[in-house]
Structure 1
């Protein structure tokens, strides 16, 4: 591939990534009056100020999405046909998926392994992806029907832009259904989980590193 062609593709990738950040910031802004409003506002500002670049030396250890391909296709189709989901957001995600890095979380010793081969994360921006960003990591979570993600917590604050039906759990709140178009915010180190129902689950998540 010629250098000019490679540079052109990188420029397009960065443009798509920036467009995705704009859509994410707008969605977070729409939920700034809800619970955790201050934290969501801070996350929105971090998204708006995120600096992107191409990680030229990145070598992906790609898990692949083949085993969950049908769930991905079905959930994207449902999201695009839903009047509750932002079509422009889904389009931005689709533009970045060809260059996404697919990973899966392994089961811990006290967790069942049922979910391992029935879920995937497509890293599109930030840590582990081809588009470098120090302040935020964005990924697309796909789960086959009937899967529960293990209860867990982590230091970074986290948000989800929900693109399908599904149930979400948060310590102190219990299980709830934000619905397509909803936003879920997990404060630092809070225990949380998510599970799909009869249909695949799709959500864009963000981990805040600042």
Structure 2
């Protein structure tokens, strides 16, 4: 299936690709906490949004807010908050960070979000084109619960990718392609 210019890779990802995308997003979040912290210049609306979404407690909110009285301390406080986040909160946090509202509030998050998208997109498209091992077959640490239907991927709504030059195949198509390659190789070997 050929991707259109207004495509959304997230909607076309197989469950294995979605799991891989979540793993990449969490890994990248852990590697980019300093950059994310530096992009957040003011405590409002960052701290309030985390508290409202129950990603931080009122106690952490109050302590962090008090620590932000000195504006130059804001990135350090944000980093401390990000560092305290539990692993299970990383994907919901990314949903918030890369929401349209937050990226308008903190424009420097736009470049960080683009970096996340590029890394995820390249890995998934590369895996689809090479027929690489799926995320389902690897030993993963993430426990991702998926819903059903159109909202089957509760996280990564910010992952709207636009690459009209790529062909994205489902895992079934990839498996079929690999099987054809193997059959072709066996045929060539038997005729030599």
Q: Fold match, TM over 0.5?
A: no
**What TM-score, normalized to structure 2?**
0.24
More strand by share: 1
Whose Rg is larger?
2
More helix by share: 2
**What TM-score, normalized to structure 1?**
0.23
